[in-house]
Structure 1
Amino acid sequence: MKSWGGGFLRRASPVHLQEVFNRYATVEKNGEKFMTPEDFIIKYLNLLDEKNYNVDTVKLLAAIVDTSKDGLISYPEFQAFEGLLCFPDALYKTAFQLFDTNGNGMVSFPEFVEVMQKADLQKKIPFNMNSPFIELYFGRNKKRLVTYNEFSQFLHDFHEEYAIEGFRRADKEGTGFISILDFQDIMVNIKSHLLTKQVQTHLIEAARESQGGTRVSFPYFIAFNSLLNNMELVKRIYLNVTNGHRTQEVSKEEFMHSAQAMSQMTPLEVDILFHLCDVLHQRGEDYGNWDGRIVYNDLYAIAPEQYFKQITNRLAEIHAVSSPEDRGIFIQILESTYRFALGSIAGAVGATAVYPIDLVKTRMQNQRTGSFIGELMYRNSMDCFKKVIRHEGVLGLYRGLLPQLMGVAPEKAIKLTVNDLVRDKLMDKNGNIPLYCEVIAGACATFIYPSTSFRRGIAGGLHQSPGNSEDPSASGGEIAGGSKVRAWAVVKELGLFGLYKGAKACLLRDVPFSAIYFPAYAHTKAKFADENGYNSPLTLLAAGAIAGIPAASLVTPADVIKTRLQVVARAGQTTYTGVLDATRKIYVEEGFRAFWKGALARVFRSSPQFGVTLVTYELLQRYLYIDFGGTRPTGSELKVASLGDGKKPQNPDHIGGYSVSLPIFSGIETKFGLCLPKYTIQRTS
């Protein structure tokens, strides 16, 4: 049998796959185990009813895997088919092996006819096997053998030709018209995979209202099928009109302009689209309220998730949750480095966006009451903001930004990277993670970066010259002697270990912050996602900002203590020896409310900062995505569509490629019209 090579999806481990095979193999020959057709199709795949099934159908489907054609499935064949299912074109490859009954890697005309004669559709609406269409592929004498690539094109064209053949048979008089009932019969039997339940139920009403009678013309028939075949294009046209918004109403004229600019979609197809939406609205809850405009959800009522998209998404899901341990350490390091780089960019963008708020927050937190300095410099955060602009100019709000970025960029990058890494490790094989594991992942994301100390000194502008406390202009990032604060000067003044001053307070602040923030963000983002699991940039920003409110506010006391420990005290101000000492002295001298100084400014800083940071990180992941075989940050891709029957595989033994076996086999039946008989009245052994 022709070898297909390697797939794009990492397969299940041989040991695990062998264990699964052995559980279902019931035949043993010469010390080797084999699966029977019933073992594979009924017991393992659960495709047919165990008590009432069609024997011929079981054998025909099992022959897809049984490449030796000996009636039994060996482990090498089982493993090879698992690999075949991992290909993005697995649906076509599986269909090809169904027709390649002798296993020589080619399909002959007799093989094609043999399989088609067993299909229910051929019995209901016979296809003319002597038609010019068949001759174009198999030759006039039908002796030509067709390769896989050629046969995949043939299957695609054959299904379209089948619908036209159905129209010809119904149009016995050659008028170019068929009855509405014949139209319904052809669509339900040949094009059922393109019909949602709503459309299938209202086919007759849609055709009658659009055609204005009891007959359907051939142009309408072709346009109707073309529309259903190209619903993904229809969705793109809609999004082009609305600039990506999914709730904006679009008129027929607006849609037509976009359709003509983007594609060759005909006016008849557009007319059918709006007629379908009209019919569905009339029969739905919005009866009497439709104004002739459509929204994105209307398109989903017409177009189901087609099998190709379901399978592709399912493969992407399996790929996303493949075990990181299956990958080499070098690949995992590359992935973490990639995430770190994107996290650094996102952290820098977020910090720059809210730096003025951070500066105000730090100055407010370090303003002490109960000391011997004199009057307070700032009455509140707004007063501080105004005085900085008045005495230092607008650029004063960004004083110390560069050292801030030196600390924040790697800090945020490591938080994002570590959170992703730990979430990956704590996910189960289905890609799910419990809440307590999300909290653990968030807590592990905490990182204490040494630049935090001098960052605050510069950003805060708190080292004023004595006796100049009422002059805000003196607070522009100066050390005790009045010189500008420089990063290297802080290192020389504090020493290497001095950079970690306040590290315990950082730990008390950052661990609970991350433990609260990351799970809150993940769940808020999920709540804001649309029905397809998609988050727009606006909802990502909102989720990041909302998650920052409880996280930032609840850890303010630890942030106040950290600020007091890191900033050099001026003459006459209380000094602190550690976290407990600072906690006690602040409470005694300033009261409980002092621990919540700058809380509002902190929320206004942290909430938008993390919102901007996370939306930047998510969008970078989306548009600069590199596949390392691991996972993407949760929610940065669309949710996986449901499978053919709306359910995910229930059999835990469907691992690796076999996770897509159900939609693959279902797709063969509906996509290519190969609805094989499932049941038989008298079952033979």
Structure 2
Amino acid sequence: MADKQISLPAKLINGGIAGLIGVSCVFPIDLAKTRLQNQQNGSRLYTSMSDCLIKTIRSEGYFGMYRGSAVNLTLVTPEKAIKLAANDFFRQYLSKDGQKLTLVKEMLAGCGAGTCQVVMTTPMELLKIQLQDAGRVEAQRKLMPEAVVAGAVPTKSPTALHLTRQLLKEKGIAGLYKGLGATLLRDVPFSIIYFPLFANLNNLGKRGVDGPAPFYVSFVSGCVAGSTAAVAVNPVDVIKTRIQTMNRAGAEETYSGVTDCISKILKNEGPTAFLKGAYCRALVIAPLFGIAQVVYFLGVGEYILSFLPSN
């Protein structure tokens, strides 16, 4: 059976609402993930996710856990809309012969979705990472002065608008796409794993041959598929986070690219460093995609559009 036809406006609304709800719920965990991944040997400030969140609240207040959330909430709507709509488009295109999608075609659809979404994902995460990690850098300069390079000048807390202007002025539009290659290396495999796994898990809970799956089946399927894909690509997420971080504390390493980042992490921190923040990322992605699929399959976008006058 071919996937159900949903209008593009409805897809955009569904993806946007899902992204806003999901990000609002799990953003503090995502902040902890970023800070844990950016910690290098000799500059460890946090021992775990809970330790990171507790120290963040103590030093920056409750809203410190939501540093960078504004840019994420602004751009997550088009990002999630593109991801979900692109996957549906490719699935429908690949099944236009009326035959059921094979696993290979499902993976190709996911690959297409992951490739399309980086247009929004790369600048969104680049700006978000700077804002999220600013508190760690500030705290390290205060609590671990021995790790600060002589002559280093403390920086003020950045804003997304300031960072955007600075990058555009210094490097043009390419400045907002630092880490594009690493983002592709993360998001394409993520989508190749996530979308086929979700579709097959969701199909197991369908009512009858043509009946839709209950919303709770879509939620659980989204959580399981999301957390599985998140852990699988976490090593690349660590690389992407390190490459996209522009302001570092003290003598922390800088990286010129993916290959340089991999070699330096292996040399200085060992292979286990690629697992940093893995459980945080799983805790972020699981409810994020579970909520996304529930909103998508409940047809919230179609319901909203039904109140608008038709031509």
Q: What range is the shorter-chain TM-score in?
A: 0.7 to 0.9
Distance 1:320 1:388 in 2: 44
- Quick check: 1:345 aligned with 2:17? yes
Q: Which amino acid aligns with 2:15?
A: G
State TM-score, norm by structure 1. Answer: 0.40
2:149 maps to: none
Distance 2:104 2:3 in 1: 25
Number of residue pairs matched by the alignment? 287
Distance 2:124 2:299 in 1: 26
Q: CA deviation at 1:523?
A: 0.8
| Equivalent pair of 1:339/1:413 in contact (CA under 8 Å) | yes
Distance 1:567 1:469 in 2: 20
Q: CA deviation at 1:465?
A: 4.0
Distance 1:387 1:319 in 2: 46
| Equivalent pair of 1:542/1:611 in contact (CA under 8 Å) | yes
The change in CA–CA distance for 1:391 and 1:465 in structure 2 (over 3 A counts) is: closer
2:34 pairs with 362, 366, 370, which one?
362
1:411 pairs with 49, 57, 79, which one?
79
The change in CA–CA distance for 1:336 and 1:531 in structure 2 (over 3 A counts) is: closer
Distance 2:285 2:103 in 1: 23
Compute the RMSD of aligned alpha carbons: 2.5
1:441 maps to: 109
Where relative contact order (Cα < 8 A, 6+ residues apart) is larger, the structure is 2
Give secondary structure in 1 for the equivalent of 2:254: coil
State TM-score, norm by structure 2. Answer: 0.84
| Equivalent pair of 1:344/1:409 in contact (CA under 8 Å) | yes
2:220 pairs with 542, 555, 573, which one?
542
Residues 232-275 of structure 1, C-alpha deviation per residue, up to 9 Å, x if partnerless? xxxxxxxxxxxxxxxxxxxxxxxxxxxxxxxxxxxxxxxxxxxx
| Equivalent pair of 1:360/1:460 in contact (CA under 8 Å) | no
| Equivalent pair of 2:2/2:100 in contact (CA under 8 Å) | no
2:309 maps to: none
Distance 2:234 2:75 in 1: 20
Distance 2:27 2:2 in 1: 41
| Equivalent pair of 2:141/2:249 in contact (CA under 8 Å) | no
Residues 100-148 of structure 1, C-alpha deviation per residue, up to 9 Å, x if partnerless? xxxxxxxxxxxxxxxxxxxxxxxxxxxxxxxxxxxxxxxxxxxxxxxxx
| Equivalent pair of 1:367/1:376 in contact (CA under 8 Å) | yes
- Quick check: 1:560 aligned with 2:238? yes
Give secondary structure in 1 for the equivalent of 2:137: coil
Q: CA deviation at 1:464?
A: 2.3
Q: Which amino acid aligns with 2:130?
A: G
Give secondary structure in 1 for the equivalent of 2:213: coil
Q: Which amino acid aligns with 1:577?
A: S
Q: CA deviation at 1:397?
A: 1.8
Residues 538-588 of structure 1, C-alpha deviation per residue, up to 9 Å, x if partnerless? 221111001112200010011000000111223311111001111111110
Give secondary structure in 2 for the equivalent of 1:461: helix
Which ranges in structure 1 are unaligned for 5 or more consecutive residues? 1-316, 322-331, 472-479, 628-685
Give secondary structure in 2 for the equivalent of 1:575: coil
Distance 1:412 1:596 in 2: 25
Distance 1:509 1:320 in 2: 28
Distance 2:139 2:30 in 1: 24
| Equivalent pair of 1:528/1:543 in contact (CA under 8 Å) | no
The structure with more radius of gyration: 1
The change in CA–CA distance for 1:437 and 1:625 in structure 2 (over 3 A counts) is: farther
The change in CA–CA distance for 1:563 and 1:392 in structure 2 (over 3 A counts) is: same
1:509 maps to: 186
Q: CA deviation at 1:431?
A: 5.2
Residues 372-406 of structure 1, C-alpha deviation per residue, up to 9 Å, x if partnerless? xx552101112112212222232222222111112
Q: CA deviation at 1:621?
A: 4.9
1:489 pairs with 149, 162, 166, which one?
162
1:376 maps to: 44
| Equivalent pair of 1:422/1:441 in contact (CA under 8 Å) | yes
1:585 pairs with 264, 271, 282, which one?
264
Q: CA deviation at 1:411?
A: 1.1
